Amino acid sequence: MEFEEPGMAELDMQFGLVRGEDAYRVSAPDFEFDLGLTSNLELDIDGEFAIGGPETGEFIFNRTAPDNLWTSLKAGLLDFGDEANAWTSGIQLGPKLPLAHGNQGVGVEGLLLLGWRVRNTQLVLNLGGLVDPAADPHTPRPTAVEGGIDIDHPLGTDGRWSLTGEISGVRYFSPDDDQLNVTLGVTWSPTDTLDVSLVALGGPLSGGDRWGILVGFSPKVRLW
């Protein structure tokens, strides 16, 4: 579990082709903005701007397809251990703004985070739930519990390359298809303030994204 230093901002952007539940889209980009406020408090803004196609699944791109915007605060709770083995925990909570076409009403999402570092390998478990904005006035709001595990394993001894992976799922109580996504990628850190990544994703269930290839750029800059 990573917190940016106070005054340090990171913009994590991923660009690429994704086959969604019903349509193709080009993420341009899928983004997350992190800003360190204190040593254990961070502002996160998570969203996506995409160019999408029709829900028939045709391979054309003729409309904008923004996603709802999740704005949240991430706070650290516990942090203990040594250089070989350490545990951290925190919470992340905030509103979801209805930026997707046709969506209305402010939603909310929250996660409980538990991180474990064994030597240089880091694992993060996240568990929580969400109530999304409604797709239209006649459709129930998507309501679900969610969870996932992230892993970051260094490759080599210089710390410049790492293997990353994630498995995550969403179980809906509303009449929406459940989601299960798996990602696998490699990250290169040419400097201390820039990460470059290549990630593949797959979704075996009918809900959510089915597959995708994304190239990521994550620059950091100090604001104060």
CATH of the domain at 95: 2.40.160.40
Residue ranges making up the domain that contains 187: 8-222
Asked, for residue 70, whether it belongs to a domain, the answer is yes
CA angle 108/70/208 to nearest 5° reads: 90
User: What is the rounded CA–CA span in Å between residue 14 and residue 36?
Assistant: 21
Helix (H) or strand (E) holding 8: strand 8-19
Q: Flag whether 140 is in a domain.
A: yes
CB contact set of 112 (below 8 Å; sequence gap of 6+): 89, 90, 91, 126, 127, 128
Other beta carbons within 10 angstroms of residue 161's beta carbon come to 12
141: in domain: yes
Provide the whole-model pTM: 0.94
Instruction: Tell whether 26 is covered by a domain.
Output: yes
**Residue 34 domain flag:** yes
DSSP type of residue 142: P
> What are 59-110's pLDDT values in tens digits?
999 999 999 999 999 999 999 988 889 999 999 999 999 999 999 999 999 9
3 inside domain: no
129-188: pLDDT as tens digits: 999 999 988 889 999 999 999 999 999 888 899 999 999 999 999 999 999 999 999 999
Model pLDDT for residues 176-217, shown as the tens digit of each residue = 999 999 999 999 999 999 999 999 999 999 899 999 999 999
pLDDT in tens, 28-41: 999 999 999 999 99
State the Cα–Cα distance between residues 98 and 191, nearest whole angstrom: 36
Euclidean distance between CA atoms 217 and 158, whole angstroms: 20
53 pairs with which residues across the strands?
none
Q: Is residue 1 part of a domain?
A: no
Considering its fold, how many domains does the chain have in total?
Answer: 1
How many angstroms separate the Cα of 86 from the Cα of each of 2, 21, 127? Answer: 13, 38, 20
The long-range contacts involving 125-129, CB below 8 angstroms and separated by at least 24 positions, are: 125/149, 126/92, 126/150, 128/92
Q: Quick one: DSSP state of residue 5? A: P
Is 210 inside any structural domain? Answer: yes
